A and B are shown apart, each in its own frame.
Chain A
Amino acid sequence: MSLDPLLSEYEARRAKALAGGGEDKYAKRTAAGALNARERLARLLDKDSFIESGLFGTSGVYPEQADETPTDGKIAGYGKIDGRDVAVVVNDFTVKGASTSATNGKKVAHMKRTATERGMPLVVIGESTGARLPDAMGSRGMGQLLGNDITQFRRTRESPMAAAALGPSFGSSTWLVCCSDFSVMQKGATVAVSSPRLVSMALGEKVSAEELGGWRLHAEITGLVDQVVDREDDVFDAIHKFLSYMPSHHNEAPPDAPVPAGSGAEMDKVFSILPESRTQVYDMRRVVRAVVDKDTMFELKPRFGRSALTALARLGGKSVGIVANNPLHRGGALDADACRKIVDFLVLCDSFNVPLVILVDTPGFQVGTDAERAGAPGKIMNFMNAMTLVTVPRISVIVRKSYGRAYVCMGGGRHSDDIAAWPTAEVSFMSPEFATKIVHGVGVGEPGFEEAFRHIRQGADVWGLASVYAAQAVIRPEHTRDYLIRMLDVYKLRMTRGVGQHLMRTWPTSY
């Protein structure tokens, strides 16, 4: 008996599965400028590295839908990015809007389990309509489909997870964006609990997709998305770049990279970035770009809580996490959003063994009714607590101002392994204008203010901090890069080969 019919059936089924929602649907998307699922997979992974898991999966609820549900709408498998293994799920919107149902749920769960247990990153490329209907309808549907895998959304940060939102990403794609370590969204995509259509049915609220879950909302207001990109291609570049700073799992140090030529070339001019007057502002990103290896600054949540700056980067070829104040926004005063952003970043870096560099220039935490209404004290204490739980090496540099509670949160005292200060540093309990009023009883413009102010300012200069060994060094600004590279080496975790204790690995994925 010939086995040929079996092989032809195999080939026919394989072709059918690879065809997804069919040529017409794929062509339509191509015409609209969107990549198809397998094109995305090719763009994401190293050439020919993909091995698929579940190619022949189809609807697990309605066997008669097998023909309409190739791969059950979610393509899963393993591949390599820059030569390193990853587990991957790419949603295929042409198959029932990549909605979640029984078989694809099992596929996603298996990818997550493998990534977690065998130590490799998980990458999910989302675009989805949410739960599949009628599959999940009714008590039977609910009982069969929802909640049977308690690890589905459990995050204990054993291995890095990156998620992308492309196009409408309701339901699972939104959930995964929220529980990932890095999320990227293409402009035009929607990240929201449910679609504008459902919202208008349920609430009679007419709302556009952009208002409900557009990039501006998530980049500026919710902070749920780490980066926003214009083009679909940029999504994959962002994920590659993010993973390049990360270890494959939390029991190893991040990989080293060659130091790009020209790194440190701007250090001679770094001091000139600071304006002449202490009341003037500047963009801290320029300082960071000058200090870190050339072109390695990878900023997270750049439009959210912008008085803080968080970025992955490399120093001397090693991954570092930069936490800084950016005086360009609110003079660097930290508000509730800025605290959330920093905490998020501290959890990321500590969980994946990325040492921290802290650059300080802040007049303190934002005060006032707006701050209190935003729950600032709670956010500040989360920040404070996170700083006490960090176990990776951390070095802080006081560039200019460091005042009040923010001094401690930004690594003051023993909250850094080592503190260096620029000669421009000023440290005190409160800004000298207010301190002058409180200590000497004279306000701005009143007689005797100038002299009293000078006195208070003097007491805030860098030498006080250095003399009581609260700063371990005072450095020339142009030596900052060399100093940091050396000190990160001094404080490296020799006994655990660069692996920290991950005390925040179960902290929430958003606050």
Chain B
Amino acid sequence: MFSKVIVANRGAVAARVLRALNELGIKSVAVYSEADAGAPYLAMATETYAIGPASARESYLNQDVILDVVRKSHADALHPGYGFLSENAEFAQRVSDAGVCFIGPSPRWIAAMGHKTKARELAATYGMPMSQGSDVLAAEPEAIVAAARKIGFPVLVKPAGGGGGIGMLPAKDETQLIEAVERARSMASRGFGNPEVYLERLLEKPRHIEFQVLADRHGNAVHLHERDCSTQRRNQKVIEEAPAPAVARSEIQAVGDEIARIMREMGYDNIGTVEMLRGADGSFNFLEMNTRLQVEHGVTEAVTGVDLVHAQIRSAAGERLTDMLPSTIGLRGHAIQARVYAEDPKNFYPSPGKLSVFRPPVEQDVRVDTGYAEGRDVTPHYDPMIAKVIAHAGTRDAAIDKLAAALEAFEIQGVKNNIPAVLAILRSEQFRAGEVHTGLIPEVLAKKR
């Protein structure tokens, strides 16, 4: 096991990993930018290091500065959290080259899954279920039209090198295709420095259902069931739950088992999430794989009783899955998480400012993960998520009620936040009935107006 681990992240995930390290009796190193000096979770770390200005590019994304802390602190492992450098293969390699364990999969997996069309190709060779998609599109308009005709309309144009739903544009027929491709290319080029785009069949009212996987360095891999993250705004998740509502368990189980088999055959070797889109026709289609801990991991922890961060760290340290997981991974009740963002609940624009009041709810079976405390500033430098609230109960209805009650009790002043919007979703008939899909939020909010 490791003796000292550096947590190369901030906010809620830094707090989460530091807690796990303390529980495992491992010394911890936290880093912070100027904007995060004095953040509450820093007190949980054995040592802390300042890593520069607020701008993420100069601090949390600055590989040289972080590697410098790795050397200075004599840590023997690094946990990247999620976001920032967590899916940067070059960084993972540099960490390994420095003789330090990168707590995540081997860099080759990060690289393989980071490029969307290459990840699709790779997954397809192992028999991953997926919708029709194209290769990276050629420049000639006629080749683009031919690729789309092969898939059939409507199609979605997606950047090959990106994520976070940025630069994805639909084309409902041929007349919209070339403009959509060109706009997506220019957005991808500006957003990710890579203008490559490809096409996928656009599913009608799709659901985002993802599978948590865990693997070790000894060729073992399992899945820990699914999470339904369909409730999104602008392709970013807002509400996540497990198990997925209104889908037969046998159907989910079959897909999960297939994914675990593929992970074993590929030789995947740490934590990961396989994201799938489920069409209205019931088909599951590979979307992408995230090679890191997921923001919504707490939902899975609640229903399986498995501490995913412990397991991730232990797997990276060379332990076997059989030594850290129960022989069968059960599902207990229903868990649901809301992401609380400092943003305008109507137009979703970020709303930075000082948290003059910030009092998370304290209730039985409600977990709040946050990196903030009353009096702290929400700066425009980072993701505007300020907390995750996870409710766990025997049934989906009870879990929704519990989450709604907890959100109502959450006192926040000084920044606008999305709690009113989340409550509107939780209370909508469609959500209650489990009729979730990725377009639900705009639908519900439009009705409300």
> Which A residues form the contact surface with B (CB < 8 A)?
279-283, 327-333
Contact = CB atoms under 8 A, between A and B. Distances in A.
Question: Is chain A's interface secondary structure helix, strand, loop, or mixed overall?
Answer: loop
Contacts of B145: 280-282, 328
A281 B181 CA distance: 15
B307 interface: no
A328 B176 contact: no
A328 B141 contact: yes
A279 B174 contact: yes
Contact of A327 (B149, B175, B176, B179): B175
Contacts of B149: 280
Interface string B141-162: 1100100010000000000000
Contacts, number: 29
Interface string B112-148: 0000000000000000000000000000011001000
6 contacts: A281-B175, A281-B178, A327-B175, A330-B175, A332-B175, A333-B175
Contacts of A280: 145, 149, 174
Interface in B350-390: none
Contacts of A279: 173-174
A280 B149 CA distance: 9
B174 A281 contact: yes
A328 B174 CA distance: 8
B174 A330 contact: no
B179 A330 contact: yes
A65 to B, nearest CB: 45
Contacts of B173: 279, 331
Contacts of B141: 283, 328
Task: Determine which residue in B149, B173, B178 has the highest number of CB atoms from chain A within 10 A of its CB, and name it.
Answer: B178
B177 interface: yes
Contacts of B179: 329-330
Q: 5 closest Cβ contacts across the A-B interface?
A: A331-B175, A281-B174, A328-B141, A280-B174, A330-B175
A281 B173 CA distance: 9
A283 B174 CA distance: 12
Nearest to A280: B174
A331 B153 CA distance: 15
B183 to A, nearest CB: 11
A275 to B, nearest CB: 8
Nearest to B186: A216
A488 B101 CA distance: 77
A431 B286 CA distance: 38
A279 B149 CA distance: 12
Interface string B52-72: 000000000000000000000
B444 to A, nearest CB: 25
Contacts of A332: 175
Contacts of B174: 279-281, 331
B316 to A, nearest CB: 44
Contacts of B175: 281, 327, 329-333
Nearest to B175: A331
Nearest to B142: A283
B189 to A, nearest CB: 11
Contacts of A283: 141-142
A332 B173 CA distance: 13
A204 to B, nearest CB: 20
B24 to A, nearest CB: 49
Contacts of A331: 173-175
Contacts of B142: 282-283
B182 to A, nearest CB: 9
A307 to B, nearest CB: 9
A333 B178 CA distance: 13
A464 B400 CA distance: 64
A281 B179 CA distance: 13
Contacts of A328: 141, 145, 178
Contacts of B178: 281, 328-329
B142 to A, nearest CB: 6
Nearest to A277: B174
Nearest to B145: A281
Contacts of B177: 281
A328 B144 CA distance: 11
A228 to B, nearest CB: 15
Nearest to A327: B175
B6 to A, nearest CB: 36
A327 B174 CA distance: 9
Contacts of B176: 330
Nearest to A333: B175
A444 to B, nearest CB: 12
Task: Determine which residue in A280, A282, A328, A331 has the highest number of CB atoms from chain B within 10 A of its CB, and name it.
Answer: A328
A198 to B, nearest CB: 26
A285 to B, nearest CB: 9
B175 to A, nearest CB: 3
Contacts of A330: 175-176, 179
Nearest to B140: A283
A412 B245 CA distance: 58
Interface in B177-199: 177-179
